[in-house]
Structure 1
Amino acid sequence: MGYILLALFLIIAILCYLEDYIRKYQKSLFFLIGLVLIFVAGFREIGLDPDSENYEYTFQNYFKNGTDEMIEPSFLLISYILGLFTDNVHMLFLIYAIFGVSLKMFAFRKMSEFYFVPLLCYISFYYVLHDLTQIRAGVVSGIFLCTLPLIAENKKKIAFFILLGASLIHYSSLILLPVLFLNNKPFCKKTTILFLCAIPLGYVVYYAGGSILMNPSLPFIGNKLAIYQAAVEKGKMTVGINIFDPLHIMSIMLFYYLFLFKDTLTKLCSNFPILLKTSAIGLSLYSAFAFLPVLALRTSQLYCIVNILLYTYILYTFKQKWIGISFVLIISLLLLYVSIPHYGLGMMIILN
């Protein structure tokens, strides 16, 4: 699988440099790559990633043996319908891949003028994390990206019901509801100060500590988080989080780099303000919730899905496009370095 990912990465990287010369074939190649990504995610080998064996067991045995595990209604419905025809879990993977990959690619086309640069950022990390591993969260992250333009257009009621409905796919979508309080207005003096301070504030919250979020009485997520945390403490599940992790620090540096160009990028990219604000929330939550690693990783990863598009906008900060592409390529290579070995999730949550 690692070789397949590397081959796709190299092909997409080459297409990034050739994009201006192959305009006639952009849509066809974009569509073809999407099909390949769906096929790879749908028919990957069981046991190659941290979650596939768990999915297979649940898919084949949930209705036979019964369980007290809280599983989202959509997963049960899809599993039940597919179970009438087959016990091959790859059909389940394929359905989630179709929605997860397609929704993200739709969002890329809506919020970026580039075809292949967003794909480069996507396949280097989030494709592996979400669409090859946390498949339910993968669909939710795609839905989330698609709702951001609605929020930017102040169609917040529609976005609210979409995110609420997404909780049927994965309860983590409820964590995304605070984004409804954001807007797409250009940064003024107050919002500039607020979002500049958001990430340092996350570190302050971490060092202040907290335990309320581990309360099992919290609806939907409290009990699951408590179970995850207990598993970590007993050594049954490994979750490592370092608030000064080099990858996290790199993300913070890129956030502030983009912030320097906020006025220019706001003029060039209509959805830039809300994407940058969303990224600020994700990066701050990583450190703020680090005392509960499961929550920190899940929330931060969902919010920071917008970094795929934000890193694409880095191209606008260079006069020569090829230099911008090369800069993004280096970032993507670093992300790929993290994600390829064992899907790069040995340090992250292994239950979905």
Structure 2
Amino acid sequence: MAIKKASFLNLCFAVAAAGVLAYVAGYRPFGLGPDFPNYEFFYDRLGSGSFSDLTSQFRFEPGFLLAAQYAKVILQLDVMGFVAVLMFVSIAIKLYCFSGLKYPLLAFLFYIFAWFPVHENTQIRAAFSISLMFLASLQVFKGRWAYFALLSCGAYFFHASSLIAAVVLLVSYFLSRFGSVFLSMAVVFASAILFYMFVGVFSGHFMALRASYVDAVNAPTIFSGVNILGFLFLVASYLSGSIDTVEKRTYFLMACFSFSLLFGFYNFPVLAHRPRELLLVFMAFIAFDYKLSYRTLAQAVIAVALAGWVFYRGISMGLFSG
């Protein structure tokens, strides 16, 4: 009886938390933020045309286009209602994915402070796509490859960059199962050299890609607070011995890959920033999934500092204003 009561209370908390955060993401009580006007512009011009009309008029992925059209034409939601519903589902999925961790509430709070400002509150397509990739990662560990493929496809149709997450997830899982952590890390960071060489071979194509993103012409800041704290967290986690399961090693290596891609594509910002943002978020699964002790104190403190720093930077960059 006590277990059922606890489960019910956990469910109530999850629904309430998802509802409050979805309201913030959809109805913008603190301000529109930098990206929301673009979604308003798109939603206002969304009609009841065919699927081919949608894909020819708008640059967004087909899954997002269909969801937006259904919300506007069938459900008759305004853009804020549509975003609120979509982000409620996104947050609820993440809460479910964290529920199996040692400290699910701490993992959820880490995600909210570190990634909610830039994802659910700003990049809503990426936020929903990542939630599906979170689910997909759980299917990998259970050997449910058909579900993994289905969820990965769903994520791709909401944000194309999720393809990177799917590939890195599989590679990290393979390395986690068949190699030591040290050997796996060596493979991951050696890949930075391969990425750099790859860019050199296809530099003409990537220069054209860079030119198409006029808002991302500056090289990434290697020694930013996020990068420094994220790297220190990985080091502390490795030294503490808390990366002791296939699941943890997989997420650990995905975070390592985020830095590998950052270094490898340093001269091509759009290819450096996006994968780092996409992959580093999987750190939420290992931020607090260990027994809190003197041995793991350093990584816990660094995780709190990372979440606090990213949240502060989100506010100072105007992600909750405008």
Counterpart of 1:118 (choices 107, 128, 151) is 107
The match for 1:88 is: 78
The match for 2:146 is: 157
Could you tell which deviates more after superposition, 207-216 or 98-107? 207-216
Structure 2 segments unaligned to the other structure (5+ residues)? 1-5
Alpha carbons 1:229, 1:292 under 8 Å: kept = no
In structure 1, distance between residues paired with 2:170 and 2:39: 32
CA drift at 1:326: 5.0
In structure 2, distance between residues paired with 1:287 and 1:188: 25
Q: Which amino acid aligns with 1:273?
A: R
Q: Which amino acid aligns with 2:212?
A: A
Counterpart of 1:266 (choices 244, 248, 268) is 244
Cα displacement string for residues 123-174 of structure 1 (whole angstroms, at most 9, x for unaligned residues)? 1121111101110110111111111121122323321232023222222222
Alpha carbons 1:72, 1:168 under 8 Å: kept = yes
CA drift at 1:306: 1.1
Counterpart of 2:221 (choices 226, 234, 242) is 242
In structure 2, distance between residues paired with 1:191 and 1:181: 13
Q: 1:71 is paired with a residue of what secondary structure?
A: coil
Counterpart of 2:184 (choices 190, 194, 211) is 194
Could you tell which deviates more after superposition, 205-214 or 284-293? 205-214
Could you tell which deviates more after superposition, 81-90 or 36-45? 81-90
The match for 2:64 is: 75
TM (normalized to structure 1)? 0.74
Structure 1 position 330 matched with structure 2 position 319: no
Q: Which amino acid aligns with 1:98?
A: F
Q: Which amino acid aligns with 1:308?
A: A
Q: 2:109 is paired with a residue of what secondary structure?
A: helix
Structure 1 position 304 matched with structure 2 position 280: yes
Structure 1 position 140 matched with structure 2 position 129: yes
Equivalenced residues, count: 309
Q: Which amino acid aligns with 1:51?
A: D
Cα–Cα, structure 1 residues 299 and 136, in superposed 2: closer, same or farther, change >3 Å?
same
CA drift at 1:76: 2.0
CA drift at 1:82: 2.8
CA drift at 1:54: 0.5
Cα–Cα, structure 1 residues 161 and 332, in superposed 2: closer, same or farther, change >3 Å?
same
CA drift at 1:227: 5.9
Alpha carbons 1:49, 1:342 under 8 Å: kept = no
Counterpart of 1:275 (choices 251, 258, 262) is 251
Q: 1:329 is paired with a residue of what secondary structure?
A: helix
Structure 1 position 210 matched with structure 2 position 200: yes
In structure 1, distance between residues paired with 2:192 and 2:320: 24
The match for 1:12 is: none
Q: 1:183 is paired with a residue of what secondary structure?
A: helix
In structure 2, distance between residues paired with 1:159 and 1:189: 22
Q: Which amino acid aligns with 2:237?
A: L
Alpha carbons 1:30, 1:115 under 8 Å: kept = no
In structure 2, distance between residues paired with 1:253 and 1:200: 19
In structure 2, distance between residues paired with 1:87 and 1:23: 32
CA drift at 1:194: 3.1
In structure 1, distance between residues paired with 2:298 and 2:27: 36
Cα displacement string for residues 289-344 of structure 1 (whole angstroms, at most 9, x for unaligned residues)? 2222122222121111111122113x536249988755533332122122222345
Task: Indicate the percent of aligned positions where both proteins have the same amino acid.
Answer: 18
Q: 2:189 is paired with a residue of what secondary structure?
A: helix
Could you tell which deviates more after superposition, 22-31 or 53-62? 22-31
Q: What is the alpha-carbon root mean square deviation over aligned residues?
A: 3.5
Counterpart of 2:20 (choices 11, 25, 36) is 36
1:37-76 counterparts in 2 under 5 A?
37-44=21-28, 48-63=32-47, 68-76=57-65
In structure 1, distance between residues paired with 2:251 and 2:70: 37
Cα–Cα, structure 1 residues 39 and 68, in superposed 2: closer, same or farther, change >3 Å?
closer
The match for 1:3 is: none
Q: Which amino acid aligns with 2:235?
A: Y
Cα displacement string for residues 190-234 of structure 1 (whole angstroms, at most 9, x for unaligned residues)? 552231452365267448853638738xxxxxxxx95664342xx
Q: 1:38 is paired with a residue of what secondary structure?
A: helix
Q: 1:181 is paired with a residue of what secondary structure?
A: helix
Structure 1 segments unaligned to the other structure (5+ residues)? 1-21, 217-224, 347-352
In structure 2, distance between residues paired with 1:243 and 1:94: 34
Could you tell which deviates more after superposition, 316-325 or 149-158? 316-325
